[in-house]
Structure 1
Amino acid sequence: MLRLLTCFLFALSLALAQDTVAGRASVIDADSLEIQGSRIRLWGVDAVESSQTCLDARGRVWPCGRRATFALSDFLGQRTVYCVRKGTDRYRRMLAVCSVGGVEINRWLVEQGWALSYTRYEGAVYLDSQKRAKAARRGIWQGSFQEPWTYRANPANPPSAGAPRPSKPSSDIYYRNCAEARAAGAAPIYRGQPGYRPGLDRNGDGVACER
C-alpha cells in the first residue's frame, strides 16, 4: 500500500510539474514570455503586437506595441514569475495564467490598457478590467488602435516576435469554413489576404468570416 501511495504521489507531482513553470521571464512581446526554455502565451488576453502602432488622443502615431512590451518587461523585472497551464496553442506554446509578486499578469496587462480581453476563444474573463482601462483611457485607450487579431490578419503588416506567421505560402492557405478560419486566428479575412475566397464571404462585401 505504501509503495502504491508513493507511486501515486510521484505521478501527481510529475503531472503538476508539467502544468506549472516558474522562474525569471524573458519578455518576447506583451503577451508572450519565455521561462526556462518554455515559450508561454498568456491566456485570455491579446496584447498589441510589438511592431504595431496606434494613434494618441491628438491623432499622432506612437509605438504602442513596443511600449506595451517595455511596460511588461519593467513590471516583471528580475522577479520570479509563476505560470499555470490552461492549454496549448497551435504553435505548441503553453497557454497560461501567470503571476508575479501576487499580481496576475494577464489581468494587469488588460487593466493597464496594453491588452484586450480575448473573447474570441477564452470568453469574457477580463472584460471588467478592459472596461476600467477604457474608462481611464490607459495605454492604447488614450486614442485609437486596431485590434491585435485584425492587425495580425493583414500580411502587409510587419511580423512580430510573439506572433509566428504561417510557414506555408499564402496561395496554399485554404479554410474549409469560417469555424476553421477562426480556430486558426485568421478571421475576419479581407479580400486579397491569405485564405480569402468568395465562398466564405456570404454578403460579398470583401470581408469573409466576419461576425
Structure 2
Amino acid sequence: MCGSRAADALASLIGRNGRVSCLEEDRDRYGRSVAVCEAGGRDINGELVRQGWAVEYGQYSDGRYADGEAEARNAKRGLWAGTFVKPWAWRRGERLASETGGAPRPGSRTCAIKGNVSGSGRIYHLPGSRHYENTQIDEARGERWFCSEEEAKAAGWRSPRG
C-alpha cells in the first residue's frame, strides 16, 4: 500500500509531461547510480522525503534531507504515519514484529536500536538519530540489537554524547 502511495506522490511531482533530469553524484557499492533528480525545478528526492514517502540515505546524501525527514517524521506524514522498516534494514532481514508473527526477541535484528562498540565505549543508537544510518552492527565484535532504550541501558550501554 505504501509503495503505491509513494508512486502516486512521485507521479504528482513529475507532472503530466514526465520530464525528469538527474545528476549522478556517486555510485553505490553495487555500481548503481546515486543521483539527485529534478522535475520542474523541484528536487524530487527532497520533496518525497519531506512528504514522508522516501527516507534519507545518509551515506550518500550527507544529511541534506535530514530536516525534511525530521519534519515528515514529526508530522507523521506518509510512511511516518505508521511503523515501517527502512529499505536497507529490510534488505538485511529486519522485519516488523507483525511480519514475524510475534514480538521481537531481544538481540534480534527485528529490534531497531543499534548497540555499537567503539573507542568511546558501548553506545546505542536510536532510529533517526544522527549516526544511526551509518552505524553497522558486527555481532562478532560484541555489537548487538536492542528492542528498547531501557534494555540497552540495563545491559550497560549508553546514549551517544552531544
Q: TM-score, normalised by structure 2?
A: 0.55
- Whole-Å Cα distance in 2 between the matches of residues 156 and 143 of structure 1? 14
Between the two proteins, the alignment pairs up a number of residues equal to 110
Q: Does 1:127 align with 2:60?
A: no
Q: Does 1:66 align with 2:4?
A: yes
Which one-letter code corresponds to 1:136 in the other structure? A
Q: Does 1:151 align with 2:79?
A: no
* CA deviation after TM superposition for structure 1 residue 102, in Å: 1.0
Partner of 2:26: 87
Distance 1:73 1:188, change over 3 A: farther
Distance 1:88 1:143, change over 3 A: same
Which one-letter code corresponds to 2:142 in the other structure? R
Q: Does 1:106 align with 2:106?
A: no
Map 1:22-101 → 2, pairs under 5 A: 63-77=1-15, 78-101=17-40
Distance 1:87 1:121, change over 3 A: closer
Q: Does 1:140 align with 2:79?
A: yes
Deviation beyond 6 Å, 4+ runs, structure 1: none
* CA deviation after TM superposition for structure 1 residue 101, in Å: 0.5
**Contact between 1:88 and 1:94, CA under 8 Å: does it hold in 2?**
yes
Partner of 2:142: 202
| Structure ranking higher on relative contact order (CA contacts 8 Å, 6+ apart) | 1
Structure with the greater alpha carbon radius of gyration: 1
SS at match of 1:99: strand
SS at match of 1:80: coil
Q: TM-score, normalised by structure 1?
A: 0.44
Q: What does the per-residue CA deviation read over 1:108-137, in whole Å, with 9 as the maximum and x for residues that have no partner? A: 111110112212343211111112112222
Distance 1:154 1:86, change over 3 A: same
Distance 1:125 1:132, change over 3 A: same
* CA deviation after TM superposition for structure 1 residue 95, in Å: 1.4
**Contact between 1:110 and 1:117, CA under 8 Å: does it hold in 2?**
yes
Partner of 1:44: none
Distance 1:152 1:102, change over 3 A: same
Structure 1 residues not aligned, in runs of 5+ = 1-62, 158-184, 190-197
CA RMSD of aligned residues (A): 3.1
- Whole-Å Cα distance in 2 between the matches of residues 156 and 134 of structure 1? 20
**Contact between 1:150 and 1:188, CA under 8 Å: does it hold in 2?**
no
Greater share of residues in strand: 1
